[in-house]
Amino acid sequence: MFVDQVKVYVKAGDGGNGIVAFRREIYVPMGGPAGGDGGDGGDVIFEVDEGLNTLMDFRYQKHFKAKRGENGMGKGMHGRNAEPLVLSVPPGTTVRDVNTGEVLADLIEHKQRAVIAKGGRGGRGNIRFASARNPAPEISENGEPGIERDIQIELKLIADVGLVGFPSVGKSTLLSTVSAARPKIADYHFTTLQPNLGVVDTADQRSFVLADLPGLIEGAHEGVGLGHQFLRHVERTRVILHVIDMAATEGRDPYEDFITINKELEQYDPTLLERPMIIAANKMDLPEAEEQLAFFKEQLDEDYPIFPISTVTKEGIRDLLFAVANKLDEIPKNYKPVEEQEDRVVYRFEKEDKAFSITRDPDGAYVLYGEKIEKLFKMTDFSRDESVQRFSRQLRGMGVDNALRERGAKDGDTVRLLDYEFEFME
């Protein structure tokens, strides 16, 4: 089964907790703090495996979680960092954050890696909080939560040449003729339900990858037919091979077919028509094909290279393959039209997110929320008084107390933060 678009949930590992510990050694009456830091949580990493050509591994497993870091230990020993969770994806994979729309990674080359979710930092042990004012602190941090996000994984096949055209014009037959690929071939529309790849070897020892895409019809860019979900695979091709039924066996005009498909490509992505395009005039073994070809050439406004072929008699296929290979030789191997962009960094002012916000629940309680304040809450060890006092000082330093007063909070009012409730005190 070919899968080229999936949505999954990934969660990086939380950091391990730091601990409170003290040295207990003979002849060391004032050993001092010795609580170690927690280990870092594991990252979620995507790595390209050129042996894959589908996202099938993500079809049935939708949740991926990395391991958390090990907790700190006594005698100042740090917890072990968790190993990253490495997931293999095929070349041409794009990863996007579902909620923000941000592109997190565009993975193309074999063994290329990208961190999709960063693991949490390990919490600090009490050895980190020792100072001249407080030489024996009973404070430690819980591990930082790992990043979690819903992502959309999209595959755009990496092929040198993409076959486009209406259904039943002979694209799959051409692929099976020039390569070892064996796509399903039948005399009805949309026989090809998924892209097929084949490696083509020319007589002069050159080779390239050819992609046969499901047939396009008018309105494909808006979701009509099957082709709309596979148009993305044309984006990474270096040359477009437009296959046309020159015998008009379906009763359509070849020139109208050519214009219609080009219009669909342009409406999906205007840069597609900037790629080199070669026309394969197929079914030249049938009657009236020669007459239709001559009329087709008269109607063309631009000078496209046209190669009359027949996938039945193999006529013209050798010359077509040589022309495609020659065109590929003119294009640098590292030519990536989709990723073309200026190599510079633009710095823009971005307003810093608010540390917290305040709302009211129907029962009158004040609710605190915000990424920064929630992270601070999760990293606080509420089982120790010193940690709770430190958390209170941090809230006061962030301006939470003053903000609650401005919202009308009075002594004894309930304040909620995640699953925790406490009373507001003047």
Q: Is 171 annotated as a binding residue?
A: yes
277 is in an annotated binding site: no
Q: Is 212 annotated as a binding residue?
A: yes
282 labelled binding-site residue: yes
Q: For 216-235, what is the mean pLDDT?
A: 57
Q: What is the mean pLDDT of residues 278-291?
A: 89
- Binned at pLDDT 50, 70 and 90, residue 340 comes out as very low
Q: How confident is the model over 134-152, as pLDDT tens digits?
A: 888 999 999 999 999 999 9
* 101-121 pLDDT per residue, tens: 899 998 988 899 999 999 999
pLDDT band at 348 (very low <50, low <70, confident <90, very high): low
Average pLDDT over residues 20-39: 86
Q: Is 412 annotated as a binding residue?
A: no
- Please check if 194 is assigned to a binding site: yes
Which of residues 317 and 234 earns the better pLDDT score? 317
d(CA 102, CA 105) in angstroms, rounded, equals: 9
**Is the pTM above the cut of 0.75?**
no
Tell whether residue 168 is among the known ligand binding residues: yes
Task: Give all domains of the chain, ordered by start, each with its CATH number.
Answer: 5-155 (2.70.210.12), 161-330 (3.40.50.300), 357-424 (3.30.300.350)
Per DSSP bridges, beta strands 239-245 and 207-212 are: unpaired
Condensed to tens digits (0 to 9), the pLDDT of residues 377-407 reads 999 998 888 998 998 899 889 898 999 888 8
- Has 167 been labeled as part of a binding site? yes
